[in-house]
């Protein structure tokens, strides 16, 4: 039968599969950055981007170099980092604890879920004056602002993650007479870990935003203070140097969480 | 240790699931429970193991479990219920950790059950690396580790392909012939029931009642594939169940 069909009617079956499975292409991200910066450099040098709109990337780099050589970089960065670490650690740990409790106890859930929903949409920056009165003008109010801002998204992510833990595994734990605490520690928490970590990605980015906001109000040192000062003097090189530090901070945090995920979630299919 | 059920009934809200089940599970025997889908056989197993409470009737342990028994009523689940973040070794040690066993002894227990289920080479593998049959062997090893007085097996082979199922049935027969254990084995597969059961409880459709209890006297190790006597028993069971299964199937459409 096939002999009767002429040769040009024979062709390979067209391929229709593939796609929808993004794989990691590390260098692409870097290329995007490099191309954008090169474009800005070219534009500012040749004059089709005016120096009022965008500073020369090379000048920003120079400013960055000065910042580093005068030791001011470390001074700003160290206070900012310590605020970020204390605030975010406080907010995230309380958030995870409360989230797990909401996930486990009906009364806690009934009582706190509406409260968290009410707190979530409040722009935390608006509360800064209040925090200054409550926790003082120094570090206290800044810690509180960052902690409060990280707390709500962490809670929501955590109790969602606890809800999604396979009930079959919990029933298995009960059937082997594991203690309540063992079930929480060995089954619920590890099972909720993927959700908690992806929630942390969001809350830590929010923490950086709030860090800058807090430092813009009444701080001598810190990246936020640095950016605010540069902005009010219209010193674009320093402004961009400050923004770059924030971006690098964000990327670093994201890489850190990525590493933690790879370490803790090796078991995932 | 025997298990005795007397007049057990169970309902979820308005739905009557089980009606007046009385049953004796003698120690050292495998009791298979078969029935059409939705007849409440899995519910019955959850009741026996104390994961749910019956609406009426009593479930009794007769006699005391042996002294070295860590968890008298131990389940093997259809979906294996292994912790994906723990290795094979870790999944078994999970059920020993709450009993304050010295770590050396716990390791000995784990080595022993891994050897009995032919998993010694896979102690450090994660569940995602294992096939379905291997996962269920891990779950069986985990159940053996607590030295159960009664094993409660909820369709343990139903998630596996038919070849793996044959292999695992042989494994179960071997395990039982070496050290007889007591088991309640819920299944919808009649071939499994005639292969592994010392007695087979046939249940009616919902509300589940016991229709008949079929006893098989042939020793487990003599029941191979293509055994004429087993074929007859299986045919007989199917005759018992056929109407019920058909009726249950039709019922589901009306839900």
Is A172 an 8 Å CB contact of chain B? yes
Domain identity same for B6 and B26: yes
Mean pLDDT of B58-80: 90
Percent of chain A, pLDDT > 70? 98
What confidence score (pLDDT) does residue A3 get?
A: 57
The H or E element containing residue A95 is helix A72-104
Looking up residue A191, the CATH number of its domain turns out to be 1.10.3720.10
Under a CB-based contact definition with an 8 Å cutoff, are residues B119 and B136 in contact? no
Q: Which carries the bigger pLDDT value, residue B104 or residue A1? A: B104
Domain identity same for B50 and B161: yes
Mean pLDDT of B214-233: 84
Confidence of residue A219 (pLDDT cuts 50, 70, 90): confident
Domain identity same for B163 and B245: yes
Contacts of B27 (CB under 8 A, 6+ apart): B1, B2, B63, B149, B150, B182
Mean pLDDT of chain A: 90
Statement: residue B252 has pLDDT above 70: no
Residue B26 lies in a domain: yes
Domain identity same for B61 and B99: no
Residue A103 lies in a domain: yes
| Contact residues, B window 128-187, toward A, CB-based 8 Å cutoff | 128, 142, 146
What confidence score (pLDDT) does residue B253 get?
A: 62
Mean pLDDT of B193-216: 89
| Contact residues, B window 90-109, toward A, CB-based 8 Å cutoff | 94-95, 97-98
Residue B167 lies in a domain: yes
Residue A59 lies in a domain: no
Contact A178 B98 (CB under 8 A): yes
Is B126 an 8 Å CB contact of chain A? yes
Residue B206 lies in a domain: yes
Residue A28 lies in a domain: no
Integer Cα distance of B196 and B223 in angstroms = 8
Give the predicted TM-score (pTM) of the model: 0.82
Owning domain of residue A254: 72-263
Residue B82 lies in a domain: no
CA distance A204 to chain B (A): 25
Instruction: Answer whether the bond into residue B131 is a cis peptide, omega within 30°.
Output: no
Statement: residue B51 has pLDDT above 80: yes
Domain identity same for B118 and B130: yes
Residues in chain B: 255
Domain identity same for B47 and B161: yes
Statement: residue A134 has pLDDT above 70: yes
Residue A181 lies in a domain: yes
Looking up residue B230, the CATH number of its domain turns out to be 3.40.50.300
Domain identity same for B249 and B173: yes
Integer Cα distance of A85 and B149 in angstroms = 52
Statement: residue A158 has pLDDT above 60: yes
Domain identity same for B23 and B97: no
Contact B94 A178 (CB under 8 A): yes
Contact A176 B95 (CB under 8 A): yes
Q: Which carries the bigger pLDDT value, residue B250 or residue B91? A: B91
Residue A258 lies in a domain: yes
Count up the domains in chain B and report the number. Answer: 2
Q: Which of residues B129, B148, B167 is at a domain's end?
A: B148
Integer Cα distance of A92 and A159 in angstroms = 13
Residue A192 lies in a domain: yes
Is B122 an 8 Å CB contact of chain A? no
Residue B28 lies in a domain: yes
What confidence score (pLDDT) does residue A104 get?
A: 94
Residue A145 lies in a domain: yes
Is A5 an 8 Å CB contact of chain B? no
Statement: residue B89 has pLDDT above 70: yes
Under a CB-based contact definition with an 8 Å cutoff, are residues B120 and B111 in contact? yes
A109-131, pLDDT tens digit by residue?
999 999 999 998 988 888 888 88
B147-156, pLDDT tens digit by residue?
898 999 999 9
CA proximity to A78, closest of A209, A230, A211: A211
**A160-198: burial string, b at 16+ Cβ within 10 Å, e else:** bbbeebeeebbbbbebbbbeeebbbebbbbbbbbbbbbe
Count up the domains in chain A and report the number. Answer: 1
Q: Taking the CA atoms of chain A, what radius of gyration do you get in angstroms? A: 26
Mean pLDDT of B111-136: 92
Domain identity same for B157 and B129: no
What confidence score (pLDDT) does residue A128 get?
A: 85
Residue B102 lies in a domain: yes
| Contact residues, A window 177-216, toward B, CB-based 8 Å cutoff | 177-179, 182, 186-187, 190-191, 193
Domain identity same for B170 and B182: yes
Residue B192 lies in a domain: yes
Q: Which of residues B128, B148, B168 is at a domain's end?
A: B148
From residue B255, alpha-carbon distances to A194, B15, B214, B244, B252 in Å are 37, 12, 31, 17, 5
Confidence of residue B16 (pLDDT cuts 50, 70, 90): confident
Domain identity same for B237 and B158: yes
- Give the Cα-Cα-Cα angle A119, A123, A127 (nearest 5 degrees): 85
Tokens (6 digits) for B149: 């007085």
Integer Cα distance of B198 and B64 in angstroms = 22
Owning domain of residue B198: 2-65+150-254
Residue B71 lies in a domain: no
Residue A180 lies in a domain: yes
Domain identity same for B233 and B211: yes
Q: Which of residues B110, B128, B148 is at a domain's end?
A: B148
């Amino acid at each position: 039968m096939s002999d009767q069909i002429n040769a040009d009617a024979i062709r390979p079956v067209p391929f229709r599969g593939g796609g929808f499975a993004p794989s990691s292409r590390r260098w692409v991200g870097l290329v995007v950055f490099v191309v954008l910066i090169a474009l800005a450099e070219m534009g500012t040098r040749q004059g089709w981007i005016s120096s009022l709109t965008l500073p020369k990337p090379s000048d920003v780099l120079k400013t960055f170099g000065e910042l580093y050589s005068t030791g001011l970089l470390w001074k700003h960065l160290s206070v900012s980092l310590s605020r970020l670490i204390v605030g975010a650690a406080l907010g995230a740990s309380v958030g995870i604890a409360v989230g797990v409790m909401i996930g486990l106890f009906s009364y806690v859930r009934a009582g706190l879920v509406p409260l968290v929903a009410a707190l979530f949409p409040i722009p935390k920056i608006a509360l800064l004056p209040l925090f200054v009165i409550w926790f003082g003008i120094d570090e206290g109010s800044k810690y509180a602002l960052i902690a409060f801002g990280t707390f709500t998204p962490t809670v929501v992510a955590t109790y969602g993650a606890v809800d999604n833990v396979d009930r079959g595994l919990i029933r298995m734990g009960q059937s082997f007479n594991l203690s309540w605490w063992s079930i929480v520690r060995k089954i619920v928490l590890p099972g909720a870990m993927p959700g908690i970590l992806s929630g942390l990605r969001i809350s830590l980015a929010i923490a950086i935003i709030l860090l800058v906001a807090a430092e813009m109000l009444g701080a001598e040192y810190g990246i936020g203070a640095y950016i605010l000062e540069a902005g009010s003097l219209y010193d674009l090189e320093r402004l961009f140097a400050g923004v770059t530090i924030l971006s690098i901070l964000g990327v670093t945090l994201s890489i850190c969480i990525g590493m933690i995920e790879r370490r803790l979630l090796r078991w995932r299919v | 240790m025997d298990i005795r059920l007397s007049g057990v009934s169970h309902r979820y809200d308005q739905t009557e699931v089980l009606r007046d089940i009385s049953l004796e599970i003698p120690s050292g025997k495998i009791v298979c429970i078969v029935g059409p889908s939705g007849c409440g056989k899995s519910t019955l197993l959850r009741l026996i193991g104390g994961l749910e409470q019956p609406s009426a009737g009593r479930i009794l342990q007769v006699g005391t479990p042996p002294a070295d028994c860590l968890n008298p009523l131990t389940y093997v689940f259809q979906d294996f219920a292994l912790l994906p973040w723990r290795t094979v070794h870790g999944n078994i040690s999970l059920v020993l950790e709450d009993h304050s066993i010295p770590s050396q002894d716990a390791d000995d227990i784990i080595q022993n059950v891994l050897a009995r289920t032919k998993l010694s080479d896979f102690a450090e593998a994660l569940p995602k690396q294992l096939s379905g049959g291997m996962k269920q062997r891990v779950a069986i090893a985990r159940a053996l580790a607590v030295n159960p007085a009664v094993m409660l097996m909820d369709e343990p082979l139903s998630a596996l392909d038919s070849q793996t199922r044959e292999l695992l049935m042989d494994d179960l027969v071997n395990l039982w012939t070496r050290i007889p254990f007591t088991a309640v084995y819920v299944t919808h597969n009649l071939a499994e029931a005639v292969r592994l059961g010392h007695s087979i409880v046939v249940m009616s459709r919902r509300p589940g009642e016991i229709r008949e209890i079929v006893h098989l006297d042939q020793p487990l190790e003599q029941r191979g594939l293509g055994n004429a006597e087993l074929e007859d028993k299986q045919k007989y069971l199917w005759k018992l169940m056929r109407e019920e299964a058909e009726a249950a199937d039709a019922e589901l459409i009306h839900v």
